[in-house]
Amino acid sequence: MAAARRSAEEADRRLAAGVGGGLLGLPVAVEDSLPRSAFDALVAAGAVVIGRTSGAEVHRNPTTGLPATALDPKVSGTAVAVATGVVSAVLARRAPGAGDVPAGGAGVVGFETSGGRGVVARTVADVAHVVRAIGWAAEPSNRPLRIGVSVRGVAMTTRTRPLMRRVVEDVAALLSLHVNEVVDHDPHLASESRLLLAPHLAAGPRELDLLDRFVPWPLRGICRSMRAAERVMLNHMFTGVDVLVTPGHTGPAETMSLPGGVLVRNGATSPFSPLWRVSGYPAVSVRAGSDADGNPLPVTLIAVPKAEGELLRVAEIIEEERGAHRRP
Give per-residue pLDDT as tens, 263-315.
Answer: 555 554 556 777 787 778 899 999 998 888 778 889 999 998 888 999 999 99
The most confident of 7-21, 102-116, 253-267, 272-286, by mean pLDDT:
102-116
Confidence at 41, pLDDT banded by 50, 70, 90? confident
pLDDT of residue 68 exceeding 50? no
Region 232-248: mean pLDDT is 85
> What whole-number distance in Å separates Cα of residue 83 and Cα of residue 104?
10
Say if residues 118 and 110 touch (Cβ distance below 8 Å).
yes
Judging by DSSP bridges, how do beta strands 146-149 and 243-247 pair with one another?
parallel
> What whole-number distance in Å separates Cα of residue 216 and Cα of residue 222?
11
pLDDT of residue 200 exceeding 50? no
CA–CA–CA angle 20, 23, 29 (5° rounding): 145
Confidence at 202, pLDDT banded by 50, 70, 90? very low
Q: What percent of the chain has pLDDT over 70?
A: 68
Report in angstroms the alpha-carbon separations of 124 from 110, 128, 168: 9, 6, 18
What pLDDT is stored for residue 22 in this prediction? 75
Give the single-character DSSP code of 59: B
* Helix, coil or strand: residue 298: strand
- C-alpha dihedral over 276, 280, 281, 284, to 10 degrees? 50
Say if residues 247 and 160 touch (Cβ distance below 8 Å).
yes
What pLDDT is stored for residue 115 in this prediction? 75
Nearest partner of 201 among 269, 298, 300, judged by Cα = 269
